Structure 1
């Protein structure tokens, strides 16, 4: 949780911060340099920019951000459009988001078999939607919709579903997706570097023209996405917060997904107008970060996207907000655990306020030693608390959130959060904190620069927010100049009674919109056909990319401590960060109390430092530590700045050796565990993917259910838990180090990590047996709009020789926008927003593989959805061209994959558990290369077809068709407490 907060801050906010002053562009250390490349293209760079950005502007206004990263032969691509839900017409909210979906549907060349014939039907559909929108009589609207359904079926005879995704998949692309937010729509692909030419050709075609094909089935998918939002209490709380902060501005008045009434009455004319207005090159940016050559890349971009026509773009003037002068109070309701948020409205990006709020936020909560971290989370004064800033073009906001302990009111949590702000105002934080915050940001920034996706995200954010890259490069230097007094002055004038408080309470949500099943006729996906564009596209050849495999035994080097403990290590050749793990090959399976003991260490001090003082000492060093006990392995980890490794390890060992039991901290720890269990029972994802899935796999005897009851926790002696952690040093262990100067690292271990002379063997681990599946439907009643289903079948024991076939099968059949499952369930039949299937490989050689399928759908579509999914899992549709594309995609992904840095060690750890001691990707690559559709059919018939499924279902009991479920097996309604073994009620049977 701590790491996510900091990474998110850097990737999406902090590094985008800037402070424009009169002299900002006169800072010679960060001077902008205009240059020309060998082809004559002009670009800008910033002196001392560690990212090496070249920023080009084509003649048509397209911004092109290029940066080189040769870690792997891939390029992270983003195509960013300054167009989001802020600019939706008031009568067509959700338009920008729906348009995002439609941009994947192709053009007059992509996705069509006969454009002239298809266009006739598409024009009819557009006209019918205009009639439908204008018609007030419900019965007549229904008749028009039936006509739309009929014409759409005819139009589908001339279309090819998911052709865009088939082509990107054939490149070996990963992460093909898009998102829409207030001011942006971002299109994403990560491609092999050798496929840049084909990708540019395809994308320039896609963004040159919009065709709204397969419209009504995609609209139904968006409705399913709308329903998922209604089932998310977090989204509802967020929306209510925004509504309070922005009573006039679209930030609070127009959600990205849109309102149900507008989704029911779309206008294809409005969507086309929006595309024509905003999807123009001078309102767009292309971001490419990866293994590229600057000069040749920009020429290729210009040859394709440079042909797009520049148009004048005028964004609408949006309403201004009046100051908030007194607290605004909102409430939302839903089944999940209660929480509260407080939000203060700020100015937007490129303002002085942005910089000061960033520092204030990190002083309040940095995941380690902030005021909220120490005073609320460390002291367990609440269940959880945190804060985070957001900056947009027109405004921003600083939001605080908290969850109550058992018996604690939301107002008490709110008051505790406000108390921390008061401490900030009074300067009740230590003078070194600002320097530590800047160092923390620098450390995380360094980690982000290694990641092409994170860096590319920074670039597109800069474009969307009209930010000068110079100010972004000098951001940390600007932060160093902030004084404690400036932070206090800012806090006193900014944090007043000008906030919006939103209470998320448990209860029925009266605002839920139930959506009828429109009864869409399945359209034709024509998976065995291709447009002429795709045929020509597939003939284009790229320079082959050869896979590279790892010799793990050479790549992972070894050293030894003086006491004989093995130290595996890999050199960090990029920067001065380190990561050290002391590994014990035992976990809670060996000692049930070990996980409990590891978690308790978070709240303990020593004979020298209090728990809060320890957090501060680590934070000063720029070093983080953790003690983590899994089922089979326990890690004591340390990471941060290499120069501080010795001091950090000394501090960690001091805690390890001298932790002092604290009964009060333990009692609060137990209270937190108990409340966490209560809260977890209100999370549908936890119920489905943990409770139901584990029960479907193991039955009553599982790790999930093998827990201490609260009364057992209360009776436990905390001193025993501390002794367990201290006693870990007496067991066999090994070390993995990723960083520079292995000799210095081993020397630090020799000095600080003292262990018993004769190390003990591990206690015998408890075994959990996977039960046979089939004939069972486990159902949990939950207040939700959608229903979610998980099909699970126990397969054969793990066989390494099946990994190639399963990889190809998953690509062809179950995962991705062009997979068989997605096409049938969503594209053709509009039965779900999310649907996938997989053949899952075991994590250990002695375990079994599993066949799994998932759907999230409206409850009133469940019978059709179940029938469709079970038909697919019994009889695999065969399409030779789609198989070839899937095979090519699997091969190209393997060819472009590089296992580097610390991943070399962790991948080898994973393979050894499967009984594999080499890079098995080489064998997989060779096998996939020779596979045919016959091979895939044989794999399906042997491993998928005819499997016996346990079916896990969560949904609203009042909406579920139980007769449909009974066809799948014996339906048993499960008590949530029983699933998790929180108590022992009798199982309720139907």
Structure 2
């Protein structure tokens, strides 16, 4: 369960999330170009007329559909008002389900903020039948707990409040005798569901499951019962989980910026005056009565939608939905009338502090979904930044005028905003970065973009939409998005066509009227955040889980056996076809049966371990042109074609890829080969590139996730001698000749290589390759790659000091070398023990002891046949709970609890997930690639399925004893040294505090200054 701090309109979400991914992970040098569409030719399927019509199915259910809708939506409205969105996708026998409620933090009462989000958590706790062993006895305790919370809320004396809380804790312990933790999750797991979760945002709460298609009726029955009533059991332990989530938000500088932006944009509207997670003081004083009132008001069918996209039969599905959710009672729903904002007449300045890299955001308030602003801002946004040829792309990112920059729109029901973001480069102030963003907006207002751009960006959006609608999860998300925002699907279908009707003159006129000094600017500065809320450890009594018991409801539920799905396995020899180029190079290919898009990959089985210069050289390609095209002109040419290229390298592989519309593959390949063969180095751009790497490294070590999961994880495995640390210093990079690096990229063609093509008309692709991809007669072998020795683990604690509220810990143990025979047992072990809401680890550490928001463990199989497997466990917890959380986790890693029923549910889940899994499209090729690295040349899921089918709990214990229990752990810790109990850490091993620059083998910022960078 989580809350969304950002809501991005679907037309820009993919681009924005990739930019955020680069910001968060620090993968600053990766070259990524986003797919665009043909400038001169429309995407097939563009409608000439888009109308909403109504028909009846054979059973008499009326539904709406939209003419020329590529998604095939049927929208039903049940008699009780429930909206039901149905669409077919037969790629796999699964159904993406969402249950959406128009109930978000915007509608929280002012005195109980965070209520909608906390209610979301409680919907997983069951009903008077689900999750209870004796409802008549349990409900009396729950009534006492509710009354005590009202007393606690109204008490003003701290000692009195503490005494009442102790009573709540005591009564809750008694109540737990009659509850069963995570029964809902156990039942969804037993069906083979994936992604069981929920999220809350400003105007929505949405519940997620992806289920095997044959489990639909069971799922509908379970969900209709779940949404029929609210039972607030295990309340105070879940409240602690929400506090941990609150702490995670305090450790997230991007979350702080988001809230600061909303506060500036919406000073009187709930968008800006209250957060989804809620105020700390409100979380400390919850009201179970208020939560029930909120549920009764908003969780009614005429304020809800069900979305089902996947392998469905329309007629049977709507009958099944009506037979279950049709029983819910309709009530009148009135959402509150919310304040209207006064215009912003001058810039509003906000400042946010934290340890991560500095950046700046400028946000303009817009109208909401369905407004004129939505269309014009969406178009302006793509003119400004589309990942390729936008004003920000070319003038700031391509020219390396800032470290990175982008923009994104966000539209909600009543308002929205258009945000522009920039991270400054070295020795550049936030104010200077802000001014550069404003300069690009001025260029938009002056119409300084080419006439073809509007049509190109609309076609770009159409292509991105085509790809999204292939995916059942993405399409289902678009449906619930329309419901939450009261949009007709016809308006969604024709939205991009409406954009194309906007002329350049109209767009420029809008920009001049809209983008003035009416913005909020948020400066994220590095420094101490003095607004951190300290949360006490309430020392909760460990409640009973009763994992060896189950309710009568669950017993009956588990007895239901739907028709079984049969697994389907891939014959790679048949699925991956082969052909040969005139020069003898083999091309693997898979036909695209869905649309006219293609993907083409040139794969070299060597990476940085074979040539330390490769990543530097290949990523520099983004900033160079040719003797024919400047870097900016080249980007425009690709964008006009609707074709994108990207390059990448890792330790053992390098690749160049081309994607887009198949009819433009020849021209796109000509452009790629032009760049590949005729790239021209430039010393000035290279110097900026090295500066960018240097600044990127500084930004990396400001990100706690990057420090933990990249730096500390690698150090725990390899120590000092690792590929992560085997890098050039910035001083060494500065001394390199960029022409030599460019020549290295050109010389890649001289090495052995492989080609993979996914698309239609392979003959046309082969003809284009024969014409453009010329090679020498004899290709060179790869150089010998450097190897790194995995160290033995145990007895070491590696600590990094970081200004944060929580402490995050990673326990890592080297296990046996990779063995395919362990894959089945490890899959079952992870499902039973370490991952998911109903796993042993989650139950013990979060549900029972309330020691962490996030806790999991895993047996991780190596990606290569000669490498070691690893056992790891993670805890993210309040610093004052750390010793207890460590003890709890280490006890579990040495003593796996027995829970026969839970084991059987995990086993059923593992089997059903394999049975429902379909490997299709490009996934066939990439799955084969991953398997061959492990020394497997066939689909081994059949072996795994049969092995899991015959496993017992004793077998799992044997696996645990052989591979988990005996292991010795290195412990990696990131936290605030002033708060962490270092003595407690020393009990786990020898504590070694690591400097982050040393961890990654980076130069110190002072050393960079000395080298004039």
- Give the alignment's TM-score, normalised by structure 1: 0.97
Alignment match, 1:294: 314
Of the candidates 501, 517, 522, which is equivalent to residue 502 of structure 1?
522
Q: Partner of 2:1008 in structure 1?
A: none
Aligned ranges 1:755-774 → 2 under 5 Å: 755-774=775-794
Of 814, 820, 832, the match for 1:800:
820
Match of 1:840 in 2: 860
1:479 to partner: Cα distance: 1.3
Counterparts of residues 169-180 of structure 1 (less than 5 Å): 169-180=189-200
Give CA-to-partner distance per residue, 1:863-911, whole Å, 9 cap, x none: 1000000000000001000000000000000000000001000000000
Query: Does the alignment pair 1:236 with 2:256?
Result: yes
For 1:11 and 1:683, the matched residues in 2 are separated by: 17
- Measure how far apart 1:772 and its partner are: 0.3
Shift of 1:3: 15
- The alignment partner of 1:187 has SS state of strand
* Contact kept in structure 1, 2:598 and 2:662, CA below 8 Å: yes
| Count of matched residue pairs | 971
Residues 87 and 316 of structure 1 are in contact (CA less than 8 Å); yes or no, is this contact kept in structure 2? Answer: yes
Is 1:364 the equivalent of 2:384?
Answer: yes
Contact 2:349-2:520 at 8 Å conserved across structures: yes
Q: Which residue of 2 aligns with 1:423?
A: 443
Change (3 A) 1:586 1:606: same
Counterparts of residues 763-912 of structure 1 (less than 5 Å): 763-912=783-932
- Alignment partner of 1:659 is 2:665: no
Matches within 5 A, 1:613-632: 613-632=633-652
2:691 aligned to 671, 684, 697, which one?
Answer: 671
- 1:28-177 matched pairs, under 5 angstroms: 29-177=49-197
Deviations 1:262-302 (A, max 9, x none): 00000000000000000000000000000000000000000
| Contact 2:711/2:1000 (<8 A) preserved | yes
**Structure 1 residue 443, shift from structure 2 partner:** 1.0
Q: CA deviation at 1:961?
A: 1.1
2:966, 2:11 → 1: CA distance? 45
Deviations 1:659-691 (A, max 9, x none): 000000000000000000011111111111111
CA distance in 2 between counterparts of 1:687 and 1:34 reads 55
Aligned equivalent of 2:403, options 353, 361, 383 = 383
Q: Which of residues 315, 326, 342 in structure 2 aligns to 1:306?
A: 326
**Contact 2:301–2:328 (CA under 8 A) maintained in structure 1:** yes
Residue 227 (structure 2) pairs with residue 221 (structure 1): no
Alignment partner of 1:71: what SS?
coil
| Cα distance in 2 between the residues matched to 1:138 and 1:751 | 80
In 1: Cα distance, 2:16 partner to 2:793 partner? 45
1:680-703 superposed Cα distances (whole Å, 9 cap, x missing partner): 111111111111111110000101
Relative to the length of structure 2, the TM-score reads: 0.95
Does the 8 A contact of 1:45 with 1:53 survive in 2?
yes
Query: Is there any run of 5+ residues in structure 2 with no aligned partner, and where?
Result: 1-7, 19-33, 35-46, 1006-1013
Given that 1:11 and 1:457 are in contact with CA atoms closer than 8 Å, whether structure 2 keeps it comes out as: no
For residue 486 of structure 2, the aligned residue among 466, 469, 487 is: 466
1:945-960 map, 5 Å: 945-960=965-980
Partner of 1:24: none
Match of 2:279 in 1: 259
Residue 773 of structure 2 aligns with which residue? 753
Residue 443 of structure 1 pairs with residue 473 of structure 2: no
Aligned to 1:213, the other structure's residue is in SS state coil
Q: 1:8 aligns to what?
A: 14
Where 2:798 maps in the other structure, the secondary structure is: strand
Structure 1 segments (4+ residues) deviating >4 Å:
2-7, 9-12
1:450-478 superposed Cα distances (whole Å, 9 cap, x missing partner): 10000000000000000011111111211
Matched with 2:709 is 689
Alignment deviations for residues 366-386 of structure 1 (CA, whole Å, 9 cap, x no partner): 000000000000000000100
1:19 corresponds in structure 2 to: none
Q: CA deviation at 1:983?
A: 3.6
| Partner Cα distance (2:190, 2:217) in 1 | 13
Match of 2:429 among 409, 413, 417: 409
Q: Residues 274 and 860 from structure 1, CA distance in 2 versus in 1: closer, same or farther, beyond 3 angstroms?
A: same
> Are 1:575 and 2:581 an aligned pair?
no
Is this contact kept in 2: 1:6–1:444, CA < 8 A?
A: no
Q: Matched residues in 2 for 1:983 and 1:670: separation?
A: 13
Structure-2 residue corresponding to 1:522: 542
Which residue is equivalent to 1:198?
Answer: 218
**Which residue pairs with 2:585 in the alignment?**
565
Shift of 1:449: 1.2
Structure-2 separation of matches of 1:240 and 1:82: 24
Kindly report the root-mean-square deviation, in angstroms, between the aligned alpha carbons of the 2 structures.
1.4
Contact in 1 for aligned 2:12/2:409 (Cα 8 Å): no
* Alignment partners' CA distance in 2, 1:703 and 1:139: 55
* Contact 1:11–1:458 (8 Å) recurs in 2: no
SS class of match (1:55): strand
8 Å contact from structure 1 (residues 10, 445) kept in 2: no
Match of 1:536 among 550, 556, 561: 556
Task: Give 1:4 shift.
Answer: 11
Q: Provide the rounded CA distance (Å) in 1 between the counterparts of 2:764 and 2:460.
A: 23
Alpha-carbon distance between aligned partners in 1 of 2:960 and 2:689, rounded to the nearest angstrom? 48
Q: CA deviation at 1:7?
A: 5.0
Structure 2 residue aligned with 1:479: 499
* Conservation of the 8 A alpha-carbon contact between 2:101 and 2:204: yes
1:397/1:494 CA distance change after superposition, 3 Å: same
Distance 1:531 1:175 in 2: 24
Structure 2 partner of 1:927? 947
Please say if residues 241 and 330 of structure 1, whose CA atoms lie closer than 8 Å, have aligned partners that are also in contact.
yes
> Structure 1: 5+ residue runs without aligned partners?
15-26, 986-990
Q: Could you say which residue in structure 1 is the equivalent of 2:3?
A: none
Give the SS at the match of 1:285: strand
Provide Cα deviations, 1:345-402, integer angstroms capped at 9, x if missing partner.
0000111111011110000000000000000000000001000001100001000110
CA drift of 1:9 comes to 6.1
- Contact kept? 1:5, 1:366, Cα under 8 Å: no
Distance in 2 between the 1:173 and 1:761 partners? 46
Counterparts of 1:48 and 1:337 in 2: how far apart (Å)?
47
The 2-side partners of 1:776 and 1:100 are apart by 40
Q: 1:972 maps to which residue?
A: 992
CA distance in 1, matches of 2:765, 2:170: 71
C-alpha distance in 2, partners of 1:459/1:314? 23
Select which of 307, 317, 322 maps to 2:337: 317
Shift of 1:626: 1.2
Aligned-pair CA distance for 1:982: 1.0
Cα distance change on mapping 1:197 and 1:805 into 2, 3 Å: same
1:120 & 1:348 partners in 2: Cα distance?
46
SS of 1:516's equivalent?
Answer: coil
Q: Which residue of 2 aligns with 1:188?
A: 208
Look up the match of 1:936.
956
- Distance (Å, rounded) in 2 between the aligned partners of 1:4 and 1:887: 37
Instruction: Give the Cα separation in 1 of the matches to 2:244 and 2:190.
Output: 28
In structure 1, distance between residues paired with 2:809 and 2:865: 28
Q: Paired residue for 1:23?
A: none
CA distance in 2, matches of 1:590, 1:772: 25
Q: Which residue of 1 aligns with 2:38?
A: none
Equivalent of 1:731 in 748, 751, 754 = 751
Residue 833 of structure 1 contacts residue 856 of structure 1 at CA under 8 Å; is this kept in 2? Answer: yes
CA distance in 1, matches of 2:898, 2:979: 35
Partners of 1:569 and 1:983 lie apart in 2 by 44
Q: Give the 3-state SS of the residue equivalent to 1:512 in structure 2.
A: coil
CA distance in structure 1 between the aligned counterparts of 2:288 and 2:14, rounded to whole angstroms? 36
Q: Secondary structure at the match of 2:110?
A: coil
Q: Distance in 2 between matches of 1:3 and 1:81?
A: 18
- 1 CA distance for matches of 2:107 and 2:643? 44
